[in-house]
């Protein structure tokens, strides 16, 4: 791709339908191409220009406070059986369109709240 200065998103961000931040991307920071629509998805003031490579992150893992092992939580938002490494073209296009009218903070707050409430109800139900 002949990139001179590879940059990457400092944190993961949401695809259109994901309950957790599931994407990160790489791009040429030296590019003077047009601003990529995904720039508004990034929580920091990073600006993606020109072509970018998108990668799906694995579902977050919960930490078992009683042992030293990590485990996949059985709560809905972290169901690893629904996770796939494949990132379809249509899913990316939907995500790009979604971020034309949305920012990271407008997406993160309600989705993070929903995840937190699911965890709380899951913990109360199992105690």
Per-residue pLDDT tens for 64-81? 555 555 544 444 445 555
Distance (Å, whole) CA 72 – CA 86: 20
Which sign, positive or negative, has the C-alpha torsion 40, 60, 11, 92? negative
Please say whether the beta carbons of 7 and 24 come within 8 A: no
DSSP letter for 49, please: B
* Among 48, 57, 61, 68, residue whose Cα is nearest residue 8: 48
**Grouped pLDDT means (10 residues each) for the chain, 127 residues:** 88 85 89 83 78 85 54 48 78 89 86 81 59
Map out the domains of the chain as residue ranges.
6-125
DSSP letter for 100, please: T
Give the pLDDT confidence score for residue 42 in this predicted structure. Answer: 76
Query: Structure pTM?
Result: 0.68
């Amino acid at each position: 791709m002949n990139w001179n200065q590879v940059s990457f998103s400092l944190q993961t961000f949401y695809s259109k339908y994901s309950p957790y931040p599931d994407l990160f991307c790489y791009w040429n920071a030296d590019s003077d191409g047009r601003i990529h629509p995904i720039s508004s998805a990034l929580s920091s003031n990073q600006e993606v220009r020109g072509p970018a490579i998108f990668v799906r992150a694995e579902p977050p893992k919960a930490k078992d406070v009683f042992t030293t092992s990590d485990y996949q939580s059985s709560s809905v938002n972290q169901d690893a059986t629904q996770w796939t490494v494949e990132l379809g073209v249509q899913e990316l296009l939907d995500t790009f369109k979604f971020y034309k009218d949305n920012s990271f903070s407008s997406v993160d707050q309600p989705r993070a709240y929903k995840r937190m409430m699911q965890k709380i109800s899951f913990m109360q139900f199992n105690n």
